[in-house]
Amino acid sequence: MIKGQKVVVVLPAYNAAKTLRPTYDEIDRSVVDDVILVDDASKDDTIAVAREIGIQHIIRHEKNKGYGGNQKSCYNKALEIGADIIVMLHPDYQYTPALIVPMVSLIANNVYPVVLGSRILGKGALKGGMPKYKYLFNRMLTMTQNILMNQKLSEYHTGYRAYHKDVLLSIPFNDNSDDFVFDNELLGQIFYKGYEIAEITCPTKYFDEASSINFKRSSIYGMGVLRVSFQYFFNKMGLAKSKLFKGLK
């Protein structure tokens, strides 16, 4: 716990057998009370490794539900077991678990209700091996999103996020997409609800075992991100009413 608040780390996993152990070993259990792993119908030994290293809460999807569907299971289980602060960390060892403590500290001390680990602040992304086309794609999307949503995030696309439970309880995230755009829909809803988001510089590593999506999926994701941003803009301007932001004012 931190400041009397229960901290739960959720690991949305898909074929993470080779990277799960080093990720889990670096989680600071003096602060983190529970770890939840949701396996999205992996084809490797992710479940066996999770049991071997002693993860207490393991959920397996018999059918792949997608990245967004995986996160829904993660957050619902975390809330079910009484989490006050929920940290979403990819178990592919791309993001360092060492940042869990400073991220949850910002939330526990009522500084911000949401904290993102940003690969773009500083030079962590390119230094860690992010492909240049993905870096440019990230920068262009983020610039467009900031304009349309009147925000100043360094990136909207990190897989390292911490939330206070009140944020997740106030947003109908279970109605969001089951695909990768879930992350951006959730951020759009958080901003629309009036919450502020902090960012902390996060080094990152790109290697063969780290999860990634190809150019085609990246393009589909990018179109989804733009759709969310324009929906946000038109809703704020009173020019449209999207189901995504229904009841969030």
Amino acid at 167: V
DSSP at 191: H
The three-state (H, E, C) secondary structure of 5-68, written as one string: ECEEEEEEECCCCCCHHHHHHCCCCCCCCEEEEEECCCCCCHHHHHHHCCCCEEEECCCCCHHH
- Please tell me the distance from the alpha carbon of residue 173 to that of residue 181, in angstroms, as a whole number: 12
Give pLDDT, residue 221. Answer: 86
Residues sharing a CB contact under 8 Å with residue 239, sequence separation 6 or more, in sequence order:
none
* 114 vs 188: CA distance, rounded Å: 13
Quote the pLDDT of residue 248: 85
Collect all residues with Cβ–Cβ distance below 8 Å to 87 and sequence separation of at least 6.
7, 8, 9, 10, 32, 100, 103, 104, 161, 162, 163
- How far apart, in Å, are the Cα atoms of 110 and each of 2, 99, 106, 114? 12, 18, 6, 10
Q: Which residue, among 186, 181, 178, has the nearest Cα to 227 in the 3D structure?
A: 181
> Which CATH superfamily includes the segment(s) 7-241?
Spore Coat Polysaccharide Biosynthesis Protein SpsA; Chain A (3.90.550.10)
pLDDT tens digits in sequence order for the chain, 249 residues long: 899 999 999 999 999 999 999 999 999 999 999 999 999 999 999 999 999 999 999 999 999 999 999 999 999 999 999 999 999 999 999 999 999 999 999 999 999 999 999 988 876 666 666 777 778 888 899 999 999 999 999 999 899 999 999 999 999 999 999 999 999 999 999 999 999 999 999 988 765 555 556 667 778 888 999 999 999 999 998 888 899 998 887
Cα dihedral 110, 115, 117, 123 sign: negative
**Measured between alpha carbons, how far is 40 from 37 in angstroms, rounded to an integer?**
10
Tokens coding 138:
């990230």
Q: What share of the chain is helix, strand, coil (3-state, %, to 5)?
A: 45, 15, 40
The single-letter DSSP state of residue 4 is T
**What residue segments make up the domains of the chain, in order of their start?**
7-241
By DSSP bridging, strand 85-88 and strand 161-164 are antiparallel
Alpha-carbon gap, residue 147 to 150, rounded angstroms: 5
Which residues lie below 8 Å from residue 30, measured CB to CB, with a gap of 6+? none
Token match 């262009």: residue?
140
Is the separation of the CB atoms in 178 and 168 below 8 Å? no
C-beta separation of 71 from 40 below 8 A: no
User: In whole angstroms, what is the distance from residue 196 CA to residue 5 CA?
Assistant: 20
At residue 188, what are phi and psi to the nearest 5 degrees?
-60, -40
> What integer pLDDT is reported at residue 207 of this predicted model?
55
